[in-house]
Amino acid sequence: MNENAFHVAIIGGGIGGLTLAQGLTKAGINVSVYERDQAPDARRQGFRVHIDPEGSNALHECLPGRLWEIFDATGGDLGHGFTFMTEHLRELLAVRRDREAAIDDVARHRSISRITLRHVLLNGLERRTYFGKRFLHYEESTDGRFHIHFADGSSARADVLVGADGVNSGVRKQYLPNADPVDTGVLALGGKVPLSAGVMALVPASLLDGPVMVMPPSPCSLFMAMWKRSSRAQEPLRRLGIEEPIAGDEDYLILGFGARPEYLAVNGDAGVVSGAAIKDAMRHVVASWHSNLRKLVELAEEETMTATNLRTSLRQEAWKTTAITLLGDAIHSMTPYRGIGANIALRDAALLCAKLREVEEDRKPLLAAIGEYEEAMRGYGFAAVEASRKAMEQAVGTRNKPAFGMFK
């Protein structure tokens, strides 16, 4: 194989996979993305995401200048605090960041719509991204290349295979079959409340300055955050060809509950629980809470509601380096309680891109470059996994009940 003229196949078109594809394209490296969704808008892309300075740096490194400018201009209004409150909306603790006046324009915190970010990341990759490609398995050919098979009967060939296909990664299941995430025993319920003057009158004032975590004495938590697009974002969106508001991307309030399934009174497979059942579970949790919180639950839209059994990866020892590697949730899936999963995936993408660029420039052998990426990724990635799990346990009390009580 001519190492400075190789083809990279990325399985999974989420934030990490598409960011890597943008960076490799920017570096002149041949890349293709294979995504199981039938189309870019085939499913909802979840709630707003917090991009921290490290994630911002990663996107800046990987995106071409034009797309970076659009990304930077299409964010939401950003608060600078995080508040803990009781279920009766009494403030327990308020953390405030400086307003970042002295920080450069790149390395800062941002509130971003996942839907808009997907449009940004797909821009320019239309001929490199293939939808409706559910990964089945790969085979290694005698020439060292990979033959990748998809459920629709098609296949592809590549010199480097990157699994960026999320917590249920098919690439990981074949490549590292003992590295599957484990169930944490915690169920997350989420939903959106459209922002209106009436809703704004119900939310605590501290929510205007950043997310709020409601911490009742019971073993559960409620995360609240607003997505409100900045008034300066419309013109940059037109540069992506978006003239009208994107469905599901209107201003909204996020409600995210976390607890054990038995406490939430939700039984069975979380993936098939109806919106009506999820709303009933939310009502059950907030029955004795502040009346404003009960009203917000009633205003939440059932069609936006989701239920997810939270899983987490376990730290993995070093594995033999090959031309197959993994990034993001495919290898270090974490709970949402630190809000850093997307940023760690972005860090993976930028680091792997930099290492593959060294190969393309004939400065490093391929396996050495991938090995350096994996060594670094295991360090910061699994540290983030463990910090996120600890934060979850503090919030919902899955273990160590005395420590849970002290934290509350």
Q: pLDDT tens for residues 93-113? A: 998 876 554 457 898 888 888
Q: Quote the distance between the C-alpha of residue 277 and its chain's center.
A: 25
Q: CA separation (Å) from 210 to 108, 197, 226, 257, 391? A: 15, 18, 8, 17, 18
Q: What is the DSSP string of 79-91?
A: --EEEEE-TT--E
Question: Which are the contacts of 75, defined by CB distance < 8 A and separation ≥ 6?
Answer: 110, 111, 112, 113, 229, 230, 233
Q: Is the separation of the CB atoms in 322 and 308 below 8 Å?
A: no
Q: pLDDT tens for residues 33-69? A: 999 999 888 776 567 889 999 999 999 999 999 999 9
The pLDDT, as a whole number, for residue 2 is: 46
Distance CA 225, CA 277 (A): 23
**Percent residues over pLDDT 70 in the chain:** 89
Q: What global pTM score does this model have?
A: 0.92
How many other CB atoms are found less than 10 A from the CB of residue 400?
12
Mean pLDDT rounded to a whole number for the chain: 90
DSSP state, 363? S
Q: pLDDT tens for residues 147-162? A: 999 999 999 999 999 9
Distance CA 7, CA 136 (A): 20
